[in-house]
Structure 1
């Protein structure tokens, strides 16, 4: 088990996605989206890492898994908002493709951690 949530691969990948969004998407959104799409993307990105951290701190397998599910939902929400950004021509297709790849990796790692915790819980 990791000594800190920052050592978890799923947290690291979600953090990388958050940084990518800040550097490649949020800066491209127009001012009129500041309190709409901008805010939604930023909140979902922050939620993806925050829920992993909060679950890690709970020290109970089932509760941790629930927080991981919330994180997975936030990552999926990021993809939805990114599709919207592409549809509005705020980002290009290449940026959306990169986000899709990162989202898929985040979800795979979160699912893997959920499986790990489920197996640990079954061993109890």
Structure 2
């Protein structure tokens, strides 16, 4: 009797890359919610949109069937993540993002998410050969 291997489907909520993107979005929201009206309009919305877009693109890519569709959205997520970093650096440089706890939390999550996202892209591309 041959034993068949069963694979459990990994839902989006269990995907570590997505979980990290959601954590980063929570940090971005805390930063944004503490800004005054002008800061929100000038720089805060850009920061929040870029950060939230990372998780949204991971989710959309994860829901696609073809690996090239998936990777396209994962690349978009990576670009949004890099854009988020740009805005966060400006927020710190301009002394708008001053809460050290939030700055440190962002700096803790960002490199891990970046690495995991690159790994997700590589893994997805490698699946085409299997």
Q: TM-score, normalised by structure 1?
A: 0.88
- Greater percentage in helix: 1
Q: Which segments of 5 or more consecutive residues in structure 2 lack a partner in the other structure?
A: 1-7
Q: Which deviations, in whole Å up to 9, do the C-alpha atoms of 1:40-79 show, x marking residues without a partner? A: 1111122111101111111111110110111011111111
SS in 2 for 1:14: helix
Q: Which segments of 5 or more consecutive residues in structure 1 lack a partner in the other structure?
A: none
Q: TM-score, normalised by structure 2?
A: 0.84
How many residues matched? Answer: 122
Q: How does 1:1-124 map to 2 (within 5 A)?
A: 2-23=9-30, 25-92=31-98, 94=100, 95-123=102-130
Q: d(CA) in 1 for partners of 2:24 and 2:82?
A: 12
For the aligned residue pairs, the C-alpha RMSD in angstroms reads: 1.7
